[in-house]
Amino acid sequence: MQKSNVYIETYGCQMNLADTEIVQGILANKGYDLTNNIKKADVVLLNTCSIRENAEQRIYGRLGNIKTLRNKKPNLVIGILGCMAERLREDLVTDKKIVDLVVGPDEYRRLPEFIDTAFNGEKGIGVKLSKTETYDDLVPFRNDDGLSAWVSVMRGCDKFCTFCVVPFTRGRERSSSLESVVSEVEQLAKKGYKDVTLLGQNVNSYLDNGRDFADLLAAVAVVDRNVRVRFSTSHPQDFSDKLLYTISEHPNLCNYIHLPVQSGSNRILELMNRTYTIEHYLTIIEKARKIIPDVTFSTDIISGFPTETYEDHLATLEVMREVRYDGAYMFKYSPREGTKAYRMEDDVDEATKSKRLSEIIDEQQKISYEINQSLMGVETEILIEGFSKKSNEFLAGRTDTNKTVIIPLKENIKKGDYIKVKINKATSGTLFADVIKKIDLTKSRKQKTA
Ligand code: 5AD
Ligand code: SF4
């Protein structure tokens, strides 16, 4: 095998970031060198996202850019990984010049073979989806900060929300074994990691030999009380009371739930095939607040789904006011080929989608600001993650409710420390605080936090 430098650029969700680490693990095992410098690369791979049209367009643009690198390095291998693989295959077949290899999310084990054949001038395509591939036995290559890590616990999605391309690009749901997840978290804890996020397109449908996601969370929580555990993302349909009780029982399971609502209108939710009503969704929120005092929520919202009326839009704003999310990821509906919604007319015009989206964003900004203002004077625990983005005279940490807190730099405080702080200033996105003292999370009880 030719010894070569591989450069990977990742687009899209956390799942894709975690997949890139798996791919890097596979390549490093086979003796490839990994580089962060595209100019030094013999192989350039883009791990792609198809969730919305603008994500795909960005990647096509970037591909155009990267192709010009071939002028200087004619043997440069260019490859596409991830969710666009299936779609790009067509392009590759009709226009062989675009890329050398296209590998979908379930065929990463074959990547070294494809790279080798690409060096010999042959195109490689591996886009089959698998019912079983979980990459359980592979160790991801983590070139991160040594503090926060993602651990993928299930892959694929069987929900078939009518707007979403994921069930087509990532295939059927399948879960990693509980033992393999626990063992990965044990390894991470040993290496000093303090913050682990369990990932899956819908972690609530996790199932391994009768053990559900709550069982998995409980098993991961007891690995090391100094390691905080988060998870993403949840579908309201499978959100169980058992899961809520599990979160409330373990001090290091974060008081934070990402629960996509998508729309506040029952009519739209039905067209989206979300399989719940707003009333049911609100019951989960209410229950969670009872069982886990101080729990915070974030959500995903789509504006301008086919047939969405102004009243439907108002219903979404109403739900936002009722739940008072701490954060939200907000998107304009983007038709995706192959989905059920693609066959519906995309009848909310662009200007209306934009206007509704900006109303939704404004509402969320207002709510986040009010919530954060109400935290003034509150004492909470944060995990120090490093310097603040803006200045090396400040440190940044996170509450277990996923809020960023900035504190002044102090000699005895470093990345990885748990600190008790008191909030003294707040914007819609960031909290600022004074330090009270260092703490030991293992001795802390379930937090009452910001
Ligand atoms: N258009 C807009 N947003 C979408 N999402 C998924 N598919 C689409 C689409 N076709 C959003 C949903 C989902 C998040 C990951 O991306 O809100 O929860
Ligand atoms: Fe897409 Fe719905 Fe599955 Fe989430 S639950 S990945 S939105 S189909």
Give the torsion sign (CA, 217, 220, 221, 222): positive
Same domain, 224 and 341: yes
> Which region among 33-37, 54-58, 160-164 has the lowest average model confidence (pLDDT)?
54-58
pLDDT at residue 442, as a whole number:
66
Min mean pLDDT across 284-298, 407-421, 432-446 is at 432-446
Whether residue 68 is found in the same domain as residue 202: no
What pLDDT sits at residue 329? 97
Instruction: Answer whether residue 131 is part of any domain.
Output: no
Summarize the confidence of residues 425-435 as an average pLDDT.
96
Residue nearest to atom 2 of ligand 2 (CA): 161
Which amino acid is residue 190, in one-letter code?
K
CATH number at residue 41: 3.40.50.12160
What's the count of helices (H) and strands (E) in the chain, helices before strands?
A: 12, 21
- Give the percent of the chain with pLDDT over 90: 87
pLDDT exceeds 80 at position 335: yes
Angle between helices 178-190 and 213-221 (to 10 degrees): 30
Ranking 60-74, 379-393, 398-412, 425-439 by mean pLDDT, the lowest is 60-74
- Please state, for a pLDDT cut of 70, what percent of the chain lies above it: 96
| In-domain check, residue 205 | yes
Question: Which domain CATH number covers 395?
Answer: 2.40.50.140
Q: What is the CATH number of the domain that holds 204?
A: 3.80.30.20
Cα–Cα distance measured from residue 348 to residue 325, given in angstroms and rounded to the nearest whole number: 26
| Helical H segments across 120-175, by residue range | 166-169
Note whether 165 and 100 are same-domain residues.
no
Residue 85: alpha-carbon gap to chain centroid: 19
Which of residues 91, 126, 161 is at a domain's end?
A: 126
In a domain, 137, yes or no: no
Contact 261, 281 (CB under 8 A): yes
> What pLDDT was estimated at residue 443?
64
pTM: 0.94
Count of domains for the chain = 3
Tokens for 420? 């008790």
Q: 298 with 397, same domain?
A: no
For 121, the domain range is 5-126
- Same domain, yes or no, for 394 and 426? yes
Q: Which one of 235, 237, 268, 339 would you pick to mutate in the ligand 2 pocket, going by the greatest count of ligand atoms within 8 A of its CB?
A: 235
> Is 277 part of any domain?
yes
What is the CB < 6 Å shell around ligand 1?
51-52, 163-164, 260, 262, 300, 302, 331, 333-334, 336
User: In angstroms, rounded to a whole number, what is the distance separating the alpha carbons of residues 202 and 159?
Assistant: 9
Q: Which pLDDT does position 203 carry in this prediction?
A: 97
